[in-house]
Amino acid sequence: MANGLDDVVAADTVLSDVDGAGGHLTIRGHSLTELAAHWRYGQVVRLLFDGFFDELPGDAELEKAIGDARVEVFERLQPMLTELAPLHIYSAMRAGIALLPDGDGLADALRLTAAPAVLTPALLRLSRGKKPIAPDASADHAADMLKMLGGTASPALAKALDTYLVTVCDHGLNASTFATRVVASTQAGLTSAILAGLGALKGPLHGGAPGPVIEMLDAIEASGDAAAWLRDEIARGERIMGFGHRIYRVRDPRADVLKAVVRRLGARSQTSSGKAGSRLAFAETVEQAALDVLRIAKPQRSIQTNVEFYTALLLEAAGFPEEAFSNVFAAGRVAGWIAHAREQQVTGRMIRPQSRYVGPVPDLVA
């Protein structure tokens, strides 16, 4: 058995396939590039949920139901938000989600889909001493997230955020999805399963990487020498954030989708931070330097750019602070987690692997 379960197949799924050698991501029969170019997040939620819930409505009705769920989550949790706001934004979101009912039905799934998108802007505003902005049930999911944040919800920015949510909606049996399926396999409710996914996503080796990408870009800019900074980092045994993947041996296809989104934003003047354009040019230089340094430092491993590198630039341009990047990742991935949890509940068996005992044995008493 490989340490880290590399190459172990732990589930059959109809949801997504990660082709690590070819650099392709398929989600329910559609390529990532097709979904990112033509689908809205609400439509992708329907694609993922299809077959796993009774009475799943059509696209337009489901998007409306997600809007209603945003309002319901806001009204349910608003009384508790002031208590949660002093926590780290990720912990506060997780604590808020833990208060939701723990059933397996469509209403539970919709509340959970809505929750990260509602809680993140509300908690951010409270932590800045501002009043939360209530969701608008009739708005598009991504556009409403930006409106609740109080930032510029230009159509271009809303489209960029929507494409991000689509891009990260599901990705095979990654650590957080596996954690979600383990909990769902015990027939615990969806909220319990999603909390497991949230726990796993938080780590810097998984969904916690994009915040440190911004810190890295700032530190490299201050140092004035990207290659030297990166070489020092690796010499100290540190990992370069936004690079490397367990499955991809070529460039993560999500990186290119998100880079194109950031490029489009940078070409427009109405981005909230105005940073996308200048950040992108610098980030491209750093990316090339990192690929060169990693190729020399780790010749035995093909370490390429992963999704988190351009996620950081996109979410920064959308007006989210670094500490909330993983929350926004969760807002996209939650639909994939829910679909996997349901697939596991419906088609799977309780996940209960074995461990090999390598500790001391008790003295045998005669």
Q: 62 or 209: whose CB is closer to ligand COA?
A: 209
Which residues pair with residue 27 across a beta bridge? 16, 30
Residue 202 interacts with ligand COA (CB under 6 A)? no
Tokens representing residue 318 in the block: 């959308």
Among 41, 229, 243, 325, binds ligand COA (CB under 6 A): 243
Phi, psi angles (nearest 5°) of residue 18: -105, 115
The binder of ligand COA chosen from 172, 189, 211, 244 (CB under 6 A): 244
Kindly tell me which residue out of 298, 321, 348, 351 binds ligand COA, with binding defined by CB under 6 A: 298
DSSP per-residue letters across 247-296: S-SS--HHHHHHHHHHHHHHTSS--SSS-HHHHHHHHHHHHHHHHHHHHH
Q: Which of 38, 128, 130, 301 binds ligand COA (CB under 6 A)?
A: 301
d(CA 337, CA 190) in angstroms, rounded, equals 9
- Choice among 245, 316, 340, 343 that is catalytic: 245
Q: Which residue is nearest to ligand COA (CB)?
A: 244
168 binds ligand COA (CB under 6 A): no
Q: Does residue number 234 form part of the binding site for ligand COA (CB under 6 A)?
A: yes
Active site residue 308: yes
When asked if residue 175 is in the footprint of ligand COA (CB under 6 A), the reply is: no
Which residue number, 73 or 258, has a Cβ lying nearer to ligand COA? Answer: 258
Residue of 287, 308, 316, 343 with catalytic role: 308
Token output for 300: 């035995």
| Residue 303 binds ligand COA, judged by CB under 6 A | yes
CA distance 137 to 133: 12
By CB under 6 A, residue 245 contacts ligand COA: yes
The string of DSSP codes covering 183-209 is: HHTTT--HHHHHHHHHHHHTSTTTTT-
Supply the residues annotated as catalytic.
245, 308
**Binding stretches for ligand COA (CB under 6 A):** 4, 205, 209, 234, 239-246, 298, 301, 303, 306-308
